[in-house]
Amino acid sequence: MTALKTPAPAPTRGRPDPQPPRRVGFSQRLGRWDVKFSPYLYISPFFILFALVGAFPLVYTAYVSVHEWNLLGGQGEFVGLQNFTDVLGQAVFWKSVANTFSIFILSAGPQLALAITIAALLDQNLRAATFWRMGVLVPYVVAPVAVSMIFGRMFADQYGLVNAVLGGIGLDAVGWHSDRFASHVAIATIVNFRWTGYNALILLAAMQAVPRELYEAAVIDGAGRLRQFFSVTVPQIRATMVFVVITATIGGMQIFDEVRMYDAQGLGGPSRNWMTTVLYLYDVAWGNQKNFGRAAAVAWLLFLLIVCIGLINFFLTTRIATSDGERPASRRRTKELIARAQAASQARAAGADAAHRAEPAEPADPSPPDPGPDRPGSQTTPGGDR
């Protein structure tokens, strides 16, 4: 007796058999996680550190600024924006802001000009180039308190070295501590002494990245040293100059050590002639007022002022750094340009197609084709076809 068996279904032609889902191993899954999350882990230390020492103090200062907070009595009641109103109503605050801007302007311009000049000199073929390049960084590594004390003695009104030199060449002595503008010049000199070498090294690194072929082409065209500097060097390092200007702006608005150690009292001199905003903040918090709420309000006002100055500075320097006066391409402008180019391409293609259809077809030649001369090899010989 023959057993009946159910025939197996025949495979469908043209359709592959369904396969079970492929299992992903732990190592493959780990590799995917590595590709996805490892970049975030690499940059996370900076943001964690910034959150601890940057974002948290900023938020906590905002919390303190809206409370009555005394150095000895501690936290008080919520006062809203009263601390900001009190600070803006004090004439010393506005005088400190004016002093900060004056010292910043007197220091930023000469500092950048000297840094570019020193960097251009260090970019030449000098003997012991490393010694000279490290030498310009020495003022930066000296403690700012020591530099301020030395320069404070040099700019002393009666027995200072600077007034002695001026008297030696027949000029009158300058009241470096009694005159407001003269004190700003002296403090700006201290700032320039400390930061010019640091900025010069940054600009020197940018100059050494300029392709030497550009200088060779300029020499072939007959350009001199000065022409090469303004036509080749300066345009090539404009992005680095923007960075130097912005950092100098932020640093110039936070001057404290130089003005604190410029005289023995450290409170901005007579009538607060050289008191900056940061020194005013220090005086409000730990000076006569001992008011942490107002000091926090000063800190936030200074922060907003630096942000505004930084944005204006960034806008101006970016406009200057953009070549040929063109605006930097934004994402929206890029999309508009791409859409415009695609529309123009489609219009050209449609016009070419229409022109091709409008052309009349060439009439067919009624004459039979010319058989041409008979070639010897083309003749059929009798008996050739077999």
Q: Can you spell out the DSSP letters for 159-211?
A: T-HHHHHHHHTTPPP--TTTSHHHHHHHHHHHHHHHHHHHHHHHHHHHHHTS-
What is the per-residue pLDDT for 301? 93
Pair 321, 76: CB distance under 8 Å: no
- How far, CA to CA in Å, does 181 sit from each of 21, 99, 103, 149, 177? 81, 9, 9, 19, 9
CA–CA separation, 137 and 234 (whole Å) = 22
From the DSSP assignment, how many helices (H) and strands (E) are in the chain?
Answer: 17, 2
pLDDT of residue 14: 56
- Convert 154-172 to b/e letters by CB count within 10 Å (16 or more is b): bbbeeebebbeeeeeeeee
Structure tokens belonging to residue 49 = 């550190």
Residue pLDDT tens, the chain, 386 long: 444 455 555 555 556 666 666 777 778 888 888 888 888 888 898 899 988 888 999 999 999 999 888 888 788 888 889 999 999 998 999 999 999 999 988 988 888 899 999 999 998 888 888 888 888 888 888 888 888 888 988 998 888 899 999 999 988 889 898 889 999 999 999 999 989 999 999 999 999 888 888 888 888 888 888 888 888 888 888 888 888 888 888 888 888 888 888 888 888 887 888 899 999 999 999 887 888 999 999 999 999 988 888 888 777 766 665 554 455 555 666 667 777 777 887 887 887 777 777 766 555 555 555 554 444 444 444 444 43
Matching residue, tokens 């200074």: 302
Residue with tokens 């960084």: 137
Question: How high is the pLDDT of residue 350?
Answer: 80
